[in-house]
C-alpha cells in the first residue's frame, strides 16, 4: 500500500506520460470521430510514441485500451465503430498506462461542439467535486473526509453520486487497497499516510444515482437515462499534502 520514494518516481513518470496521452487526444476528440478510432489512436501513441503499455487492454479480459462513456453512460463504455461522437455529446475517456512496472489511471470529460448549458454545468461541477476530494488529501486525514467533500459539493449543486463504483489504490496492480468512496462522513475510515497512492474518480448524475449494466457486461448507464459525468486523477499522499501524478502538461 505504501510506495517508496523510488517507486513514486516511477509512478510519477507513468502519470506524466498519461498526461501526454490526453494532450494528444485534445485535438482528436471531436464530432465525426468514432470511439473505436480514438481507441486505436491511444494504443498507437502509448506503444510507439511513449514506449509504454496500455494497461487496460486485457485486464479482466477487457478488449480495448480505453473506456468511452457518452452522455447517459456512467462508466466502462466500450469503444465501437458505430459510436460516432456528435455535436452536443459529453464523453468521458478513461485511460490507464503502465511504465516501469507501475500504473497510472486518469479520466477526462470532453464536450463536443455546442453542449447544452445543463450538460456543461454537470461536467464542470463534477470536475469541482473531484478537486474538492483531492484537496482533503494529507497525512492524518481520513478516507471519509474525501468522500464527504465530494458528496457535499455534488448534492449542494443538485447532483447525485454513484455509489456502486469508487476510486482505488494503485501501483503495480491497477486495483489495490484501499477503496476510495465518493460519499461518507468526515473523520471516519482509514487514516491517510505518506506514500499512499490512489485514484479519486467521482461519477455524478443529473438525476437519480441508480445505475444498471448493459448486456455487454461492461457498460454502465443511468437507470433514468439522465446524463452522467466523471473525472479522475491518480493522487499520492505527500509529507504535507498531496501530489496529483496525472496532470496534463500545461494544464
Residue 152: count of CB within 10 angstroms of its CB? 16
Residues near 75 by beta carbon (within 8 Å), at least 6 away in sequence: 67, 69, 92, 94, 162, 165, 203, 220, 230
Annotated binding residue 201: yes
- Give the relative orientation of helices 143-156 and 117-134 as an angle to the nearest 10 degrees: 160
Instruction: Judge if the upstream peptide bond of residue 178 is cis by omega within 30 degrees of 0.
Output: yes
Annotated binding residue 224: no
The C-alpha cell at 235 is 493522487
Annotated binding residue 145: no
The C-alpha cell at 3 is 510506495
Annotated binding residue 49: no
The C-alpha cell at 195 is 506514500
Residue 130's nearest CA partner among 10, 242, 2, 225 is 242
Annotated binding residue 94: yes
Annotated binding residue 232: yes
Annotated binding residue 87: no
Residues near 51 by beta carbon (within 8 Å), at least 6 away in sequence: none
Residues tagged in the binding site annotation for substrate: 76, 175
Q: Which residues are annotated as a binding site?
A: 76, 94, 105, 168, 175, 201, 232
**Which residues fall in the annotated binding site for a divalent metal cation?**
94, 105, 168, 201, 232
Amino acid at each position: 500500500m505504501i510506495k517508496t520514494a523510488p517507486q513514486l518516481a516511477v509512478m510519477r513518470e507513468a502519470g506524466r506520460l498519461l498526461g501526454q496521452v490526453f494532450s494528444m487526444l485534445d485535438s482528436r476528440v471531436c464530432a465525426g470521430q468514432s470511439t473505436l478510432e480514438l481507441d486505436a489512436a491511444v494504443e498507437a501513441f502509448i506503444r510507439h510514441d511513449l514506449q509504454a503499455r496500455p494497461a487496460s487492454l486485457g485486464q479482466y479480459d477487457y478488449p480495448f485500451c480505453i473506456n468511452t462513456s457518452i452522455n447517459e453512460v456512467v462508466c466502462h463504455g466500450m469503444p465501437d465503430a458505430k459510436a460516432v461522437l456528435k455535436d452536443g455529446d459529453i464523453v468521458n475517456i478513461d485511460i490507464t498506462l503502465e511504465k516501469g512496472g507501475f500504473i497510472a489511471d486518469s479520466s477526462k470529460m470532453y464536450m463536443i461542439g455546442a453542449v447544452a448549458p445543463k450538460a456543461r454545468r454537470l461536467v464542470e461541477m463534477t470536475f469541482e467535486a473531484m478537486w474538492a476530494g483531492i484537496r482533503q488529501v494529507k497525512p492524518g486525514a481520513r478516507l471519509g473526509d474525501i468522500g464527504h467533500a465530494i458528496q457535499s459539493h455534488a448534492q449542494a449543486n443538485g447532483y447525485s453520486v454513484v455509489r456502486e463504483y469508487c476510486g482505488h489504490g494503485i501501483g503495480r496492480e491497477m486495483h489495490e487497497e484501499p477503496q476510495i468512496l465518493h460519499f461518507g462522513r468526515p473523520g471516519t475510515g482509514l487514516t491517510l499516510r505518506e506514500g499512499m497512492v490512489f485514484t479519486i474518480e467521482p461519477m455524478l448524475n443529473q438525476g437519480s444515482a441508480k445505475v444498471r449494466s448493459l448486456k455487454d457486461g461492461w457498460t454502465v448507464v443511468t437507470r433514468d437515462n439522465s446524463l452522467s459525468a466523471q473525472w479522475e486523477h491518480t493522487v499520492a499522499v505527500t509529507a504535507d499534502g498531496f501530489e496529483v501524478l496525472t496532470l496534463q502538461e500545461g494544464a
